[in-house]
């Protein structure tokens, strides 16, 4: 009987020890999980230019198309360039992200058409005449193990806006949150063809979403020295078409 009591006490001590070890493991597991969650964040940097002509001090937003929540915001500089920074979960696809450029009370634009209202080509259009101006483009950020993600040279202009509207008008809300890079790439290609066709452009292979379109007031200065003659002709044509939307 004495041995049975001692054995029972020993079992209780072992059971208590197991409980302590289990609780310690759970606490440790929670701590690791929290650490993993904090480590799963990605620092995202997106940069590019907004041209309709060159937009100075325009508001730039990264917006989740699924729920229209704002992920990050910044302003363009006097060359129309922008850099957006925000965080996303590394283990989740972003779904469709809209980059929206809009005019506010600080925005100015270089007129790239023959006339922008009463403003001549090459002159400055002030904020009061830019009310309602919005430009957009699209991208996705697929899940990855990288701690940082950088997207550079992303153009926003009248042509990307028209093509973005083709994409968003063809998709339902539930699809927007699950869209991945390969899905969007095909949609962008199809939307580019629709826009180029409607504008009478014969070369349907042009990628509106990646093409660097110079300000129509300084086309030559905006063309890369590394461009082939074909690329220069294409960029010039797209620049003129982009300017025509303001005409």
Query: Over the stretch 157-207, which tens digit does the pLDDT of each residue have?
Result: 999 999 999 999 988 777 888 999 999 999 999 999 999 999 888 877 788
13's tokens = 């001590």
pLDDT at 104: 94
What's the rounded mean pLDDT across residues 72-95? 96
State residue 226 phi and psi, 5-degree precision: -85, -5
> What mean pLDDT comes out for the span 67-87?
96
Residue 54 has what DSSP assignment?
B
Task: Name which of 36, 151, 44, 145 is nearest 90 in CA terms.
Answer: 145
Q: How far apart are CA 3 and CA 9, in angstroms?
A: 10
At 4 the pLDDT is: 33
pLDDT above 70 for 30: no
DSSP 217: G
* Least trusted range by pLDDT, from 45-59, 123-137, 227-241: 227-241
Condensed to tens digits (0 to 9), the pLDDT of residues 113-157 reads 888 889 999 999 999 999 999 999 999 999 999 999 999 999 999
Q: Give the predicted TM-score (pTM) of the model.
A: 0.80
- Check residues 109 and 39 and name the one with the higher pLDDT: 109
206 and 232 in contact (C-beta within 8 Å)?
A: no
Beta strand 41-51 with 148-157 is parallel
pLDDT confidence of residue 8? 39
Residue 25 has pLDDT above 50, yes or no: no
What is the spatial distance between Cα 155 and Cα 55, in angstroms, rounded to a whole number?
Answer: 12
Task: Round to whole Å and give the CA distance between 222 and 235.
Answer: 9
Report whether 153 contacts 137 (CB < 8 A).
no
């Amino acid at each position: 009987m004495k041995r049975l009591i001692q054995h029972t006490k020993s079992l209780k001590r072992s059971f208590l020890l197991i409980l302590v070890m289990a609780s310690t493991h759970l606490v440790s597991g929670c701590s690791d999980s929290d650490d993993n969650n904090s480590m799963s964040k990605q620092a995202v940097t997106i940069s590019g230019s907004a041209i309709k002509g060159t937009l100075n001090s325009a508001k730039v937003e990264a917006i989740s198309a699924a729920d229209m929540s704002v992920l990050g915001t910044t302003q363009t500089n006097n060359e129309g360039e922008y850099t957006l920074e925000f965080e996303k979960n590394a283990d989740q696809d972003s779904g469709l992200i809209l980059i929206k450029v809009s005019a506010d009370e600080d925005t100015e634009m270089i007129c790239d058409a023959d006339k922008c209202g009463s403003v001549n080509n090459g002159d400055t259009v002030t904020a009061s005449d830019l009310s309602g101006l919005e430009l957009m483009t699209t991208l996705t950020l697929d899940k990855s193990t990288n701690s940082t993600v950088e997207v550079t040279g992303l153009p926003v202009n009248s042509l990307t806006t028209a093509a973005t509207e083709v994409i968003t008008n063809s998709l339902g809300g539930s699809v927007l949150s699950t869209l991945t890079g390969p899905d969007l790439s095909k949609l962008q290609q199809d939307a580019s063809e629709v826009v180029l066709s409607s504008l009478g452009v014969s070369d349907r292979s042009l990628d509106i979403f990646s093409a660097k379109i110079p300000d129509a007031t300084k086309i030559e200065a905006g063309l890369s020295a590394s461009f082939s003659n074909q690329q220069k002709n294409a960029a010039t044509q797209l620049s003129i078409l982009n300017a025509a939307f303001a005409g």
